[in-house]
């Protein structure tokens, strides 16, 4: 929408109008200014800040994923976020071996120049965060940024807020619920160049992160373990399916050589920008006319069709089709699918 | 030679004559009959027997390797030898995990219908032998069949002699020396459809067995382990290089489905045969003439050349070229190389 309307302000003003035109049953209204300001003040009091998609501090790799969060809440050293990152995740009930190996691995990855991301869970996650605390450690939490979960990791949370960073997608005060964890995991893999699984039982949460990593085209690394330990079953299974066998940080860093070499330098520290400060990507397009809307509706069905195909068939500009589809989407009449496909609801 | 001369007797009579013709400096003479008979009696007293290449009880897979032993000494149930086999090998200083896993694996392989082979060493080997004692367990020893090494495995040796089988390439009474072990390892891998490495440090003896297995076209299986345990380094490294990740017997058996399905049924029990009883493979060829010898010598150089190429260039039959090359080899003038290549010494 920023790209379509040229600024956040213009988008916010136009959306309700578009939604009306799209004959959507329920009204679309922007969050009232006062409510937004209250939330910003609360964030400020919590020592946190917002980072929006497109801002220099927004995690680089995350920008590219299909459902990148438009806004992240960040506590701690936001300057860590644009640096190359690797996720280290694993079992909560980690073995003694896993608890020893993951901080070593995380520390060596840090020495190798990457920031380590994990999920602030017990076990492997916590150990990995600790190992990389000196070099760069980022936790992505499932609830609001001010909600410490699990409680036993409060000390680690405080350390990360001081020395590392904590990231949340959901608003302040949100208590994490079961359905939030997979959504959170997509951010962990999405921020990372690769995901290292240290220990994981079959059907564990770490394997959800791996599924996202594969969808997002990230490298998946797995630490092998004894077949006698069920906590290694997930990793051994990943290895069987082609994950990169990982005994130490070199196994990871050597695989990521190209990405690390091509990583742009971190941006200089900047003051927080507001949306209107920097979103000047494209001039606003005139809202497309009713004829265009009709043409597109005629060509849509419940079977998904490529947006490019619509552009070609309607003889409209890609920008005009995008605006019309946005309008129909806001009106609840169009559904989007992966691969830039759309269908009629 | 059996194939060339039609019987062991004919070969033994012809070889000294060939060697003389080849202008070899030292004389080639068959072992005197009395000496051979003494050795056979000693074997008999030890309860052992000979099995020769080509006999029904000779291990099937071993028949096909380039340097298959012409004669094996066997103690115990020789009827195990023609059955499909899998080798289970690993570290002598095995971990508790390895000592627990290898007998389980060996027992399950046995239940799956394969005979388990190993090297009677301490650690993984001994544990694997024990696990498969009920279903079929074969030890290949580096020295003579009557020499128990290491001494601590005497109990296992006795159990194998009763319930399983022990095999040796070297004559009775030979004390195993360092150089004998790699030669022994080629027999272990050569007898097997696949080699499973349970634990192996970097540069360990098990990796020599793997090298032979790869040269012989055998599948290599490796059990993953923690990077924190140096005894797992060899296995993890094998996995990185493409070995099949193995957590249990199914991982092995499912890979060998085709070979196990196509394995011919075990031969019926037969009395021991003597070489002259069964070697009637081909009628004897006349010894090739001096002209052929000259033609071949002209075309040979210190650079290895394919035997097929010699056949084509000399316009001789393959059988004639083979006889001439054998003659030159006995005379110490020709050297053989893998891939059916020969060169002038």
Cβ of B26: how many Cβ atoms within 10 Å? Answer: 7
Cβ separation of A97 and B223 shorter than 8 Å? no
Question: Closest approach of chain B CAs to the CA of A150, in angstroms?
Answer: 28
Per-residue confidence (pLDDT) for residue A286, from 0 to 100: 47
Angle at A202 between CA A198 and CA A204, to 5 degrees: 70
Q: What angle do helix axes A307-314 and A318-330 make, rounded to 10 degrees?
A: 120
Percent of chain A with pLDDT over 90: 61
Question: How far is A224 from chain B, CA to nearest CA, in Å?
Answer: 5
Interatomic CA distance for residues A251 and A86, integer angstroms: 12
Q: Please give the Cα distance from B194 to B210 (Å, whole number).
A: 9
pLDDT value for A26: 63
Element (H, E) at B306: strand B305-306
CB contact under 8 A, A223 and B227: yes
Task: Give chain A's contact residues with B (Cβ, < 8 Å).
Answer: 97, 100-101, 223-228, 232-233, 236, 239-240, 245-248
Chain A residues touching residue B240 (CB < 8 angstroms): 245
pLDDT of residue A291: 79
pLDDT-derived band of residue A263, with 50, 70 and 90 as boundaries? Answer: confident
Average pLDDT along chain A: 88
> Looking at residue A148, what DSSP letter applies?
-
- Which among B100, B227, B232 is the nearest to A248, CB-wise? B227
Residue A252, φ and ψ in degrees, nearest 5: -80, -50
Q: What is the mean pLDDT of residues A166-170?
A: 97
pLDDT at B328: 84
Distance from the Cα of residue A301 to its chain's centroid: 31
pLDDT the model gives residue A175: 97
Low-confidence ranges of chain B (pLDDT < 50): 271-287
User: Which pLDDT value is given to residue A144?
Assistant: 96
Disruptive mutation site among A106, A236, A238 for chain B (greatest number of B CBs within 10 Å): A236
Lowest average pLDDT, out of A229-238, A240-249, B215-224, B307-316, goes to B307-316
Q: Do B225 and A228 touch (CB under 8 A)?
A: no
Which of B101, B224, B248 is closest, CB to CB, to A239?
B224
Q: What is the pTM of this model?
A: 0.78
Closest-CA distance of chain B to residue A124, Å: 15
Nearest by CB: B223 against A101, A227, A233: A227
Average pLDDT of A314-332? 82
Q: Which of B97, B223, B247, B255 to mutate to test the interface with A (most CBs of A within 10 A)?
A: B247
Asked whether residue A266 carries a pLDDT value surpassing 80, the answer given is no
Q: How far is CA B130 from the centre of its chain?
A: 22
* pLDDT for residue A276 is more than 80: no
C-alpha to C-alpha distance for A58 and A187, rounded to whole angstroms: 12
B224:A228 CB<8 A: no
Residue of A nearest to B243 (CA): A240
Query: Any idea which residue has 């039982």 for tokens?
Result: A201
Question: Sign of dihedral through CA atoms A126, A128, A134, A137?
Answer: negative
Residue B203 in contact with residue B97, Cβ under 8 Å?
no
pLDDT band at residue A66 under the 50/70/90 scheme: confident
Gyration radius (Cα) of chain B, Å: 22
Query: Do A224 and B228 count as a contact with CB atoms less than 8 A apart?
Result: no
* pLDDT for the residue B116: 98
Is residue B145 within 8 A of residue B171, CB to CB? The reply is no
For position A23, what pLDDT does the model report? 60
Distance CA A23, CA A331 (A): 6
The single-letter DSSP state of residue A23 is: T
Spatial neighbors of B114 by CB under 8 A, at least 6 apart, are: B83, B84, B85, B86, B136, B193, B253, B256, B260
pLDDT of residue A280: 39
Q: Which two tokens stand for residue B260?
A: 């196990």
Kindly indicate the confidence band of residue A279, based on its pLDDT and cuts at 50, 70 and 90.
very low
In A215-270, the DSSP E strands lie at: 219-222, 244-245
How high is the pLDDT of residue B200?
93
pLDDT at A28 over 80: no
Mean pLDDT of A208-229: 95
SS3 B66: coil
pLDDT 10s digits, A171-189: 999 999 999 999 999 999 9
Q: Does the pLDDT of residue A318 top 90, yes or no?
A: no
Q: How far is B258 from chain A (nearest CA, A)?
A: 20
Among all residues of chain B, which has the CA nearest to that of A230?
Answer: B247
A vs B, Cβ pairs < 8 A, gives 52
Q: What is the pLDDT of residue B280?
A: 39
Q: Do B248 and A226 touch (CB under 8 A)?
A: no
Query: CB-CB: which of B97, B101, B245 is closest to A236?
Result: B245
Instruction: Give the pLDDT score at B26.
Output: 63
- Non-local (6+) Cβ contacts of A237 within 8 A are A202
Q: Which of A97, A236, A245 comes nearest B247 by C-beta?
A: A236
ipTM computed for the complex: 0.74
């Amino acid at each position: 929408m920023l790209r379509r309307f040229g600024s956040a302000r213009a988008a916010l003003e136009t959306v309700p109008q578009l939604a009306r035109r799209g004959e959507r049953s329920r009204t679309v209204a922007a969050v009232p200014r006062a409510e937004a300001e209250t939330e910003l003040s609360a964030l400020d009091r919590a020592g946190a800040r917002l980072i929006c998609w497109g801002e220099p501090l927004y995690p680089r790799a995350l920008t590219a994923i299909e459902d990148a969060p438009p806004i992240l809440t960040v506590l701690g050293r936001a300057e860590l976020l644009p640096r190359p990152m690797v996720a280290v995740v694993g079992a909560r009930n980690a073995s003694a071996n896993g608890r020893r190996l993951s901080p070593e691995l995380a520390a060596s990855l840090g020495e190798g120049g990457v920031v380590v991301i994990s999920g602030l869970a017990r076990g492997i996650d916590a150990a990995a965060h600790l190992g990389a605390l000196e070099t760069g450690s980022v936790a992505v939490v499932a609830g609001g940024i001010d909600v410490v979960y699990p409680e036993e990791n409060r000390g680690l949370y405080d350390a990360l807020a001081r020395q590392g960073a904590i990231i949340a997608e959901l608003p302040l005060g949100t208590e994490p619920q079961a359905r939030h964890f997979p959504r959170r995991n997509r951010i962990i893999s999405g921020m990372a160049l690769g995901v290292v699984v240290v220990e994981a039982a079959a059907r564990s949460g770490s394997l959800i992160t791996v599924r996202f990593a594969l969808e997002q085209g990230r490298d998946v690394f797995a630490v092998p373990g004894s077949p006698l330990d069920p906590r290694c079953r997930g990793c051994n299974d990943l290895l069987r399916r082609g994950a990169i066998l990982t005994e130490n940080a070199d196994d990871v860093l050597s695989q990521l050589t190209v990405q690390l070499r091509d990583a742009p330098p971190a941006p200089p520290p900047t003051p927080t920008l507001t949306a209107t400060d920097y979103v000047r990507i494209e001039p606003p397009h005139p809202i497309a006319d009713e004829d265009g809307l009709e043409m597109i509706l005629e060509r849509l069905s419940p079977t998904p069709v490529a947006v490019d195909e619509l552009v070609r068939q309607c003889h409209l500009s890609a920008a005009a089709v995008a605006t019309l589809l946005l309008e129909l989407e806001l009106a609840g009449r169009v559904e989007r699918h992966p691969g830039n496909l759309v269908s009629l609801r």
